[in-house]
Structure 1
Amino acid sequence: METEQQQTGLDWFRAAVPYVAAHRDRTMVIAIAGEAAQAPAFPTLLRDIAQLRALGTRVVLVHGARPQIEVRLRERGLAPRYAAGLRVTDADALEAVCDAVGRLRLHIEGLLSRNLGSPGIAGARLRVASGNFVTARPLGVREGVDFQYTGEVRRVDAQGIARLLDEGQIVLVSPLGYSPTGEVFNLSGEDVATQVAAALKADKLVFLTEAGPLRDRQREMLTQLTVPAAEQLLATDSRLPEELAAHLRSAIEVCTVHDLRVHLVDRHIDGGLLIELFSRRGIGTLVSREPVERLRAATVDDVGGIFDLIQPLESEGILVRRSREHLELEIDCFQVLDADGLIIGTAALYTFPETQAAEIACLALHPEYRGGGRGDQILEHIETLARRRGHRQVFVLTTRTAQWFQERGYREGQVTELPPSRQALYNQARNSKVLVKPLG
């Protein structure tokens, strides 16, 4: 049992290594609600965030403080006031806001400092820094309501934050802003996180949600959304919790204007942040301007990813063995399905000048991404590419997947139908089936 657990952990680590490398030196803004700080697992969450920094990610943490402010208001005998979902902050309420936010900021700094010295992180010389990074302005009077000391972000000191990130520090940003004349304003943590991510041109904005995962109308979890899909979801799903709707609106804004990637991750899942960032499937919803998965021509930089993808299939005898050197020489023949920088699928198109036929070879898909129509997507892409190059038919040689190709319009052919140069390379020992498809 212990050996199996060790192997499972080793497999997870090996799978996570490419993601660790992909996030190194990247800037990530993580937003948490004040409710998270009240949870027993909050120290564990902050430890995960500290470990992100230890792995080389540049981390900015933005926190909310709504429940903490409610407590301070009650202690002062004050009733909270809201309009259009925003707190109305008068002078008395502002004192409660500053008290709550200040205490919570110190609490977070203490926990982060403790975690930065914990085993596995100690010695990394990590620090947490906070400061006056946000210039604010008042919301003013809206629909007859004077919001007084409730404000919105006017400007973010991106250079000041970047300088601290360059020094290896985690930067903590609170939902308070200051006007040029020294006034203090109560801000929305959502607004602060969004504007900080935009000002820094961050690589990712992560919302750790309180309302659970984002689901479609059939209650299925949504793992990816483009901006148009997110807009449609907002317009059609009246049951969407307001918190998730706000996150989607923020995601649409930063994805459209700044081309960021936005992750929505359920805060209640232990280790959910790490699972989302360091595993292929993740555990949350990724919102982006363009589809995260894209088919493109392979480059020499993709050789390692293609090799890792096809090696298990070669070991099973499904694909013909290709060395890294072989792949490098033929890389111009390959197309890849790229998922946020990682190769999850591939196929090659080989041409034969003496005929108008082309060979589709080495079609492979990562096991965790099978069953979602991606194989058809790759095959369609390769066939379209063959048409554009003037080929009238394509063929494949396979030992295991003949039926799959036949279901997609391929007929069983003979070795003699292959181009002469390909016939000369035919491996009688493998006895591969020849499948042919004319291109309209």
Structure 2
Amino acid sequence: MNVTPDNAVVAKEPDNDSLSGAVADTVSALGAPDSAGPQFVRWFREVAPYVHAFRGKTFVVAFGGELVQANALNPLIQDLSLLSALGIRLVLVHGSRPQVNEQLRLKGYTQQFGRGRQPTDDAALECAKEAAGEIRLDIEAAFSQGLPNTPMSHAQIRVISGNFVTARPTGVIDGVDYRHTGQVRKIDIDAMKAAIERGSIVVLSPLGFSPTGEAFNLAMEELATSVAVGLRAEKLIFLTETPGVIDEDGNVDTELARLDADALLAAGGLDEDTAFYLHYASRAVKRGVARAHMVPFNLDGSVLLEIFTHDGVGTMVVEDTLDDLRPATIDDVGAILRLIEPLEFDGTLVPRGRASIERDVENFSVLEHDGVIFGCATLHHFPQEQMAEMGCLIVHPEWQGSGEGELLLRHMESRARALGAKRMFVLTTRTSHWFIKRGFVQGGVSDLPKERQSAYNRARNSQIFIKRL
């Protein structure tokens, strides 16, 4: 929907039958060379805010041996090398559960590891060492690739691993001696920071060492969480066998507040794998990690899609939801201009310019997600007539279709009522039906406040719609 005046509203009805968004456009571009150029440029520009936001930040990426078993390691390494090239600092934590189980089976042992803490005997520890060493070498080899015409071309990435993790024995619990199963005691955060600040990628295996030189088998999820907390990481990303938390409609719940995640865990309705990862994601956020993600590894490029698209493809846990509808500040002027300028260019909006936005910024509200402003609206009060004008209601095209325009409208109606307005009006040239569906009725110039009547641009011939509050 494009509502414009002399003000404007841009939102859009959901269209489930159409491909929309940066990801769909990119896919379309790959199959349609004639149109690839403009679509690629638009997509590249739209991911720029995320690149700016995450450069210099630390991500901890954790995955189990199931990912390696599914032959998904090489594509993941290519995507991670791209993140590294964009200035994101990376720590990788890998698991090896299926590989350990396979080693045990081949050697004739009956023990098999599943989710949760289990005892590790001498034979299982040796299998854990072998499996961890093999996967670590596979990771190092993958990061060492540099074939021309591949994503790794010109990539020169240094991978560092070592004794960063001090462990302690789990001990005896309820009469069960866990032997070589351990827990994280301490992480050498300073050494790890020094490595990643020099541009290296730190790779951690699920093993820790005691001051006496013993090795202990660790849970990958616990290790990754401890590392993310210790580094105060921006993100902890679990690459999982599950698609994420599924809501009542069968869709992936893309964002959960931590308290909501804890409530789901307490209710006990989640499948075992999802609950297992969600437990650690919630724990990480509770202990200071900004965002924890559960991302399916069977979707090619899932890490990139999760980081560089608005809704992502998995479930993100945050201390509180990241969509923030708030009053604009002077620091938001640049972002508001970027939303407005394409509509000014195509004639949808009357040109305003930076100076006008700066003078009017206290009348704006903005929608922000994960530090990126993707919507705005403005409200002008006419107290004598007890009316308010809503204008510049804009939702970025790539983030339309999920009710953001409706959210902004309700917010501006609430603001208008708080100011004492009894009616709210908009001027539009293109989206009358959207407003009619939301309770607006058509009016005329004579229905506007006198001050607004004198400023009405008859050359644009905008339609006038009014709603009682």
Report the TM-score, using the length of structure 1 for normalisation. 0.91
Cα drift, residue 394 of structure 1 = 2.5
Where does 1:229-308 land on structure 2 (aligned, <5 Å)?
229-236=260-267, 238=269, 240-308=270-338
In structure 1, distance between residues paired with 2:418 and 2:277: 42
In structure 1, distance between residues paired with 2:288 and 2:166: 20
CA 1:47–1:74 in 2, change beyond 3 Å: closer, same or farther?
Answer: same
User: What SS does the aligned partner of 2:191 have?
Assistant: helix
Match for 1:167: what amino acid?
R
Contact persistence 2:101–2:113 (CA under 8 A): no
Cα drift, residue 187 of structure 1 = 0.3
Shifted more, 115-124 versus 183-192: the winner is 115-124
Shifted more, 88-97 versus 410-419: the winner is 410-419
User: What SS does the aligned partner of 2:264 have?
Assistant: helix
Shifted more, 322-331 versus 423-432: the winner is 322-331
In structure 1, distance between residues paired with 2:369 and 2:446: 39
Contact persistence 1:265–1:284 (CA under 8 A): yes
CA 1:171–1:116 in 2, change beyond 3 Å: closer, same or farther?
Answer: farther
CA 1:84–1:55 in 2, change beyond 3 Å: closer, same or farther?
Answer: closer
Contact persistence 2:442–2:463 (CA under 8 A): yes
In structure 1, distance between residues paired with 2:243 and 2:419: 48
The aligned residue for residue 400 of structure 1 is: 430
Give the counterpart of 1:2 among 33, 49, 57: 33
Cα drift, residue 121 of structure 1 = 5.8
Shifted more, 55-64 versus 357-366: the winner is 357-366
Report the TM-score, using the length of structure 2 for normalisation. 0.86
The aligned residue for residue 371 of structure 1 is: 401
Where does 1:22-421 land on structure 2 (aligned, <5 Å)?
22-81=53-112, 85-114=116-145, 125-236=156-267, 238=269, 240-352=270-382, 355-421=385-451
Cα drift, residue 302 of structure 1 = 2.4
Cα drift, residue 172 of structure 1 = 0.6
Contact persistence 2:228–2:289 (CA under 8 A): no
Q: Deviations over 1:254-300 (max 9, x none)?
A: 22231521121111111111122122342222221211111011223
Contact persistence 1:50–1:115 (CA under 8 A): no
In structure 2, distance between residues paired with 1:154 and 1:147: 16
Match for 1:409: what amino acid?
G
User: What SS does the aligned partner of 1:77 have?
Assistant: coil
CA 1:117–1:329 in 2, change beyond 3 Å: closer, same or farther?
Answer: farther
The aligned residue for residue 4 of structure 2 is: none
CA 1:124–1:294 in 2, change beyond 3 Å: closer, same or farther?
Answer: same
Contact persistence 1:263–1:284 (CA under 8 A): yes
Q: Deviations over 1:56-78 (max 9, x none)?
A: 10111100011121222234332
User: What SS does the aligned partner of 1:182 have?
Assistant: coil
> Superposition RMSD on alpha carbons, in Å?
2.5
CA 1:375–1:229 in 2, change beyond 3 Å: closer, same or farther?
Answer: same
Cα drift, residue 171 of structure 1 = 0.8
Cα drift, residue 354 of structure 1 = 5.0
In structure 2, distance between residues paired with 1:65 and 1:162: 25
Cα drift, residue 314 of structure 1 = 3.7
In structure 1, distance between residues paired with 2:405 and 2:369: 14
CA 1:56–1:275 in 2, change beyond 3 Å: closer, same or farther?
Answer: same
Cα drift, residue 421 of structure 1 = 2.3
In structure 2, distance between residues paired with 1:243 and 1:109: 28
User: What SS does the aligned partner of 2:142 have?
Assistant: helix
In structure 2, distance between residues paired with 1:356 and 1:120: 60
User: What SS does the aligned partner of 1:206 have?
Assistant: strand
Give the count of matched residue pairs. Answer: 438
CA 1:268–1:115 in 2, change beyond 3 Å: closer, same or farther?
Answer: farther
Shifted more, 174-183 versus 321-330: the winner is 321-330
Cα drift, residue 429 of structure 1 = 1.4
In structure 1, distance between residues paired with 2:144 and 2:106: 29
Match for 2:41: what amino acid?
L
In structure 2, distance between residues paired with 1:355 and 1:247: 56
In structure 1, distance between residues paired with 2:59 and 2:162: 18
Contact persistence 1:256–1:289 (CA under 8 A): yes
Match for 2:437: what amino acid?
E
Contact persistence 1:150–1:186 (CA under 8 A): yes
Contact persistence 2:97–2:114 (CA under 8 A): no
Shifted more, 198-207 versus 44-53: the winner is 44-53
Shifted more, 282-291 versus 318-327: the winner is 318-327
CA 1:205–1:10 in 2, change beyond 3 Å: closer, same or farther?
Answer: same
CA 1:71–1:382 in 2, change beyond 3 Å: closer, same or farther?
Answer: same
Match for 1:45: what amino acid?
L
CA 1:120–1:77 in 2, change beyond 3 Å: closer, same or farther?
Answer: closer
In structure 1, distance between residues paired with 2:289 and 2:423: 40
Shifted more, 390-399 versus 188-197: the winner is 390-399
Shifted more, 300-309 versus 13-22: the winner is 300-309
Query: Structure 1 unaligned runs (5+)?
Result: none
Cα drift, residue 9 of structure 1 = 3.0
User: What SS does the aligned partner of 1:114 have?
Assistant: coil
The aligned residue for residue 19 of structure 2 is: none
Q: Deviations over 1:340-381 (max 9, x none)?
A: 111221100123465543211111112333332222211111
Shifted more, 259-268 versus 211-220: the winner is 211-220
Q: Deviations over 1:108-149 (max 9, x none)?
A: 122212259986666665311111122222222223322111
In structure 2, distance between residues paired with 1:67 and 1:17: 38
Shifted more, 259-268 versus 10-19: the winner is 10-19
CA 1:118–1:433 in 2, change beyond 3 Å: closer, same or farther?
Answer: closer
User: What SS does the aligned partner of 2:145 have?
Assistant: helix
Match for 2:310: what amino acid?
R
Contact persistence 2:229–2:289 (CA under 8 A): no
Cα drift, residue 437 of structure 1 = 3.2
Q: Deviations over 1:159-179 (max 9, x none)?
A: 111111111111111111122
In structure 1, distance between residues paired with 2:379 and 2:67: 51
